[in-house]
Structure 1
Amino acid sequence: MRAARKAMAMRQSLLRWTLLVILSAVLAVGLDWLHLPAAFLLGPMIAAIMVAVSFGPVHLPGLAFNWAQGVVGCLIARAITPSLLAEIGRDWPIFASGVLAVVLLSMVIGWLLTRWQVLPGSTAIWGTLPGAAAAMVIMAGDFGCDVGLVAFVQYVRVIIVSVLSAVVAAVFVPAAPAGGLSAHIAFLPSDWLGFGETVGFIVVASFLAVRLRIPAGPLMFVMVIGALLQNLHVLRIALPQILLIPGYCVLGWGIGMRFRRETLRQAMHALPSILVSTLFLLLACGGLAVVLVELTGMDPLTAYLATSPGGASTVAIIASASHLNVAYVMAMQVARAWFLMLTGPLIARTLSRWAGYPLGHGRSGSG
Structure 2
Amino acid sequence: MGNRGRELLGLAAVVAAAVVATAGFAALGLPSPALFGGLLAGLVRALAFRGRAAVPGVAATAGQATIGVAMGSLIDLETLRAVAANWLPVLLVTLGTLALSLGAGLLLRLQRGISPVTGAFAMIAGGASGIIVMARGLGADARMVAVLQYLRVLLIVVLMPVVATVVHGSSGGGPADVVDDGPGWPAGLLFTVGCAVSGLVVGRLVRLPVAALLGPMVAAAAVDLSGLGRGAEVPALLGSAAFLVIGLQVGVSFTRESLRTIGRALPLALGVILGLILASAGLGLVLSAATGVSALDGYLATTPGGLYAVLATASDIGADVTFVLAVQVLRLFVMLLSAPLVARWLRRSAQG
User: What's the TM-score, normalizing by structure 2?
Assistant: 0.88
AA aligned to 1:128 is: M
Rounded to whole Å, the distance in 2 between the matches of 1:293 and 1:209 is: 37
State the shift of 1:292 in Å.
2.8
SS at match of 2:2: helix
Does residue 93 of structure 1 match 2:49? Answer: no
1:12-66 deviations in Å (ceiling 9; x for gaps): 6524531x23431232122212222111111211221121122244332211111
Does residue 173 of structure 1 match 2:170? Answer: yes
1:147-182 deviations in Å (ceiling 9; x for gaps): 1112122111111112212333454433269x9xxx
- Partner of residue 237, structure 2: 242
SS at match of 2:106: helix
AA aligned to 2:88 is: P
Output aligned runs, 1:57-68, within 5 Å: 57-68=52-63
How many pairs are equivalent? 346
Rounded to whole Å, the distance in 2 between the matches of 1:154 and 1:265 is: 17
- Partner of residue 280, structure 2: 285
Does residue 159 of structure 1 match 2:158? Answer: no
Paired residues of 2:209 and 2:340 also in contact (CA < 8 A): no
Give the share of equivalent positions with the same residue, in percent.
31
- Partner of residue 338, structure 2: 343
- Partner of residue 123, structure 1: 118
AA aligned to 1:34 is: L
C-alpha root-mean-square deviation of aligned residues, in Å?
2.7
Rounded to whole Å, the distance in 1 between the matches of 2:215 and 2:114 is: 30
AA aligned to 1:67 is: A
State the shift of 1:273 in Å.
0.9
Output aligned runs, 1:133-144, within 5 Å: 133-144=128-139
- Partner of residue 32, structure 2: 38
Rounded to whole Å, the distance in 2 between the matches of 1:190 and 1:253 is: 28
AA aligned to 2:12 is: W
Paired residues of 2:157 and 2:306 also in contact (CA < 8 A): yes
AA aligned to 2:115 is: P
- Partner of residue 75, structure 1: 70
Which of the residues 217, 227, 242 maps onto 1:233? 227
Paired residues of 2:126 and 2:305 also in contact (CA < 8 A): yes
Residues 94 and 297 of structure 1: is their aligned pair in 2 closer, same or farther, counting only changes over 3 Å?
Answer: same
SS at match of 2:253: coil
User: What's the TM-score, normalizing by structure 1?
Assistant: 0.85
Unmatched runs of 5 consecutive residues or more in structure 1: 1-5, 359-367
SS at match of 1:131: coil
- Partner of residue 362, structure 1: none
Residues 116 and 43 of structure 1: is their aligned pair in 2 closer, same or farther, counting only changes over 3 Å?
Answer: closer
Rounded to whole Å, the distance in 2 between the matches of 1:343 and 1:240 is: 28
Which of the residues 296, 301, 311 maps onto 2:296? 301
Does residue 218 of structure 1 match 2:212? Answer: yes
SS at match of 2:109: helix
- Partner of residue 258, structure 1: 253
Residues 43 and 174 of structure 1: is their aligned pair in 2 closer, same or farther, counting only changes over 3 Å?
Answer: farther
- Partner of residue 202, structure 1: 196
Rounded to whole Å, the distance in 2 between the matches of 1:209 and 1:63 is: 16
1:281-314 deviations in Å (ceiling 9; x for gaps): 1111122222333333422221111111111121
Residues 148 and 232 of structure 1: is their aligned pair in 2 closer, same or farther, counting only changes over 3 Å?
Answer: same
- Partner of residue 262, structure 2: 267
SS at match of 2:107: helix
Residues 13 and 53 of structure 1: is their aligned pair in 2 closer, same or farther, counting only changes over 3 Å?
Answer: farther
State the shift of 1:253 in Å.
1.2
Residues 166 and 50 of structure 1: is their aligned pair in 2 closer, same or farther, counting only changes over 3 Å?
Answer: farther
Paired residues of 1:161 and 1:311 also in contact (CA < 8 A): yes
Q: Which moved more, 1:338-347 or 1:77-86?
A: 338-347
Residues 29 and 108 of structure 1: is their aligned pair in 2 closer, same or farther, counting only changes over 3 Å?
Answer: same
Q: Which moved more, 1:89-98 or 1:198-207?
A: 198-207
Rounded to whole Å, the distance in 1 between the matches of 2:351 and 2:126 is: 23
Rounded to whole Å, the distance in 2 between the matches of 1:107 and 1:176 is: 37
